[in-house]
Amino acid sequence: MSEFPPFIIFFAAALLVPATRGGVRKLVLLATPLLAALHIALNVDVGTLAPYSVLDVELIFMRTDKLSLLFGYLFCLAGFLATLFALQVEDTKQEIAGLVYVGSTLGAVFAGDLITLFIFWELLAVSSVVFIWARGTERAVDAGMRYLIFQILSGLFLLAGALVHQQATGSLSFDHIGLAGISGWLIFIAFGIKCAFPFLHTWLTDAYPEATATGAVFLSAFTTKLAIYALARGFAGEEILVYIGITMTCFPIFYAVIENDLRKVLSYSLINQLGFMVTGIGIGTALALNGTVSHAFSHVIYKALLFMSMGAVLYRVGHSKGSDLGGLYKTMPKTTTFCIVGALSISAFPLFSGFISKSMVMTALVHEGYSYSWLLALFASAGVLHHAGIKIPYFAFFAHDSGLRPKEAPTNMLIAMGLAAAICIFIGSQPQYLYALLPWEVDYWPYDTTHVLAQLQLLIFAALAFVWLTRTDLHPPERRSTNLDTEWIYRKFLPAGVHRGLIFFRNARESTMTAAIAPMHSIRHSFSQSSIAKYHLSESWPTGSMVLWISIILVSYLLLDIFVYG
């Protein structure tokens, strides 16, 4: 049993990268997640608890159980796939950021106390914003700044909650927290920001589409899934999460349907899928929590695959606007095929990964009597097929022929997409291997006749609805536009309000100054024409007149002091 934290492997590699070049650097980048996964598999056991005392604070860098180990394997796998996909990018900043980002995620997963969690929580924010700023456009810089503000704010809520929790309980242990006190709510909000709760989600849909072609793959895999892990550990069984999760599954559908930027469609789709996981955490049963964890595992792979396919399009074409794409299957057939596998997986088609994980959450909703929530989740499942399962591959590769004939994606991108697609199919067709890694014991098998037929019926009717809407021109067309949701409040409404307020106060100040200066001019004019000027006091006795007036003023104050205030 080893107490060596795997994040150190990534941080050491980040220090090594600037000193290497060419093939050696690529080897370091690819070997790092593999070495970390191998270390976890061979040297780390369930039940490891490794505390370190730093400035009289006990920090736990290695707390292992089946939950943290599964997410540890997942993040190493995602780190390898994302690194392989980005292997042709020769940008030291992004390469170092990727290693620190993945390492920080692993540090947070194995953190056993809230202060250690906070440290890696903030490192996660600082390292991930590099993928947005590296795009170099004005939109990316602005989006990255807004992204960073949200992430740092999440960290501040976490730190405040940790300190209040320590004051109230005398412990900083990161276990079940609940919503009994103010500390629980502060930490809950911190996790909610990173998990893209409704009204706290705009950082995701704002920033992810502005990231680099390869950076968005990293971003899609780690930040939000770490938040899912944190919620599962700290707030399992809190019923409010059921309703938050169902809301998350439903509202992004409407924005995704009208959105033109296909990477932004994927961002809304990401929130939709997070909603199923949050719902499972809120239910809190073993079946629901296993469904959450397995869906997080599946989602990281198929969502990364979809972002890879759109990243390959962005890399070759220069944009991901649905209105200006189409016909790319002619010269990018392999990317098209991999995108379709990702689309089938996210739509939960039988034999693909989404089917064997989402079904556990849906079944848990029925078992626990959440009938209305189940109906809304069913609607959201149909919506997933509409905006991610069909819209993404259709408008990118098959819709109106744009005339674009780009080359196929680079070899490393194709290998990364191929591996991700193979994992999606393997997990979907052989779910017992993933189920064996799940943290809680549960007897569940997704491939029963009733469930398979019901899911196929849902998907077929959803596909027919898309075809009918398209044929009748009722489907919203792909338009060259920028759509804002609740971010309109702080991107449009508040700046406009502040601008109008500044104009109002400037005008009010000018009016006040004008009103104050006019009497002064009148007084000065009166004195210039008064008897003082008439008798030429200032010319005849300049010093004497000044002394006279000062004496009069002093006497007046003296009389007031004696008779009024005395």
**Residue 173 tokens, joined:** 């242990």
Select from 167, 162, 166 the least CA-distant residue to 185.
162
Q: What are phi and psi of 86, to 5 degrees?
A: -95, 15
Q: Largest alpha-carbon pair distance within the chain?
A: 116
Select from 350, 347, 505, 338 the least CA-distant residue to 429.
350
Domain count, the chain: 4
Beta pairing partners, 57: 54
**Residue 429 tokens, joined:** 């067709």
Domain boundary among 187, 211, 233: 233
Domain boundary among 203, 233, 263: 233
Local structure of 347: helix, strand or coil: coil
Q: What's the pLDDT at 519?
A: 62
Same domain, 140 and 185: yes
Select from 322, 314, 345, 343 the least CA-distant residue to 410.
314
CB distance 233 to 187 below 8 Å = no
Domain boundary among 233, 262, 282: 233
Same domain, 271 and 229: no
Q: What's the pLDDT at 224?
A: 97
Evaluate the CA torsion angle 102, 105, 111, 117 in order and state its sign: positive
Distance in angstroms (rounded) separating the CA atoms of residues 313 and 311 = 5
CB distance 309 to 320 below 8 Å = no
DSSP letter assigned to residue 18: G
Distance in angstroms (rounded) separating the CA atoms of residues 274 and 377 = 12
- Angle 27-25-208 from CA coordinates, rounded to 5°: 95
Same domain, 498 and 534: no
Same domain, 78 and 135: yes
Same domain, 454 and 556: no
Same domain, 387 and 497: no
Neighbours of 448 (CB within 10 A): 10
Local structure of 63: helix, strand or coil: strand
Q: In b/e form, how buried is each residue of 103-114, taking b as 16+ CB within 10 angstroms? A: bbbbbbbbbbbb
The runs of H, that is alpha helices, within 195-285 are: 202-207, 215-221, 223-234, 240-258, 262-283
Same domain, 250 and 144: no
Composition of the chain by helix, strand, coil, percent to 5: 75, 5, 25
Same domain, 221 and 242: no
Same domain, 174 and 218: yes
Model confidence pTM above 0.75: yes
Beta strand spans in 3-120 (E): 49-54, 57-63
Classify strands 49-54 and 57-63 as parallel, antiparallel or unpaired: antiparallel
CB distance 315 to 308 below 8 Å = no
Same domain, 267 and 148: no
Distance in angstroms (rounded) separating the CA atoms of residues 122 and 126 = 6
CB distance 480 to 321 below 8 Å = yes
Q: What's the pLDDT at 547?
A: 53
Domain that holds residue 153: 1-233
Distance in angstroms (rounded) separating the CA atoms of residues 566 and 564 = 6
Same domain, 71 and 135: yes
**Residue 461 tokens, joined:** 């009717």
CB distance 2 to 43 below 8 Å = yes
Amino acid 388 reads: A
List of residues 6+ apart from 461 with CB closer than 8 A: 382
List of residues 6+ apart from 435 with CB closer than 8 A: 290, 294, 444
Distance in angstroms (rounded) separating the CA atoms of residues 346 and 394 = 15
Same domain, 290 and 439: yes
pLDDT in tens, 444-461: 999 999 889 989 998 998
Select from 150, 141, 144, 151 the least CA-distant residue to 129.
144
Q: What's the pLDDT at 173?
A: 93
Neighbours of 325 (CB within 10 A): 25
Give residue for tokens 């009204």: 199
Q: What's the pLDDT at 345?
A: 96
Residue 494's Cβ-side half-sphere holds a number of Cα atoms within 13 Å equal to: 6
Ranges of the chain whose pLDDT falls below 70 = 1, 475-482, 484, 487-488, 490, 499, 513, 516, 518-566
List of residues 6+ apart from 77 with CB closer than 8 A: 33, 37, 300, 301, 423
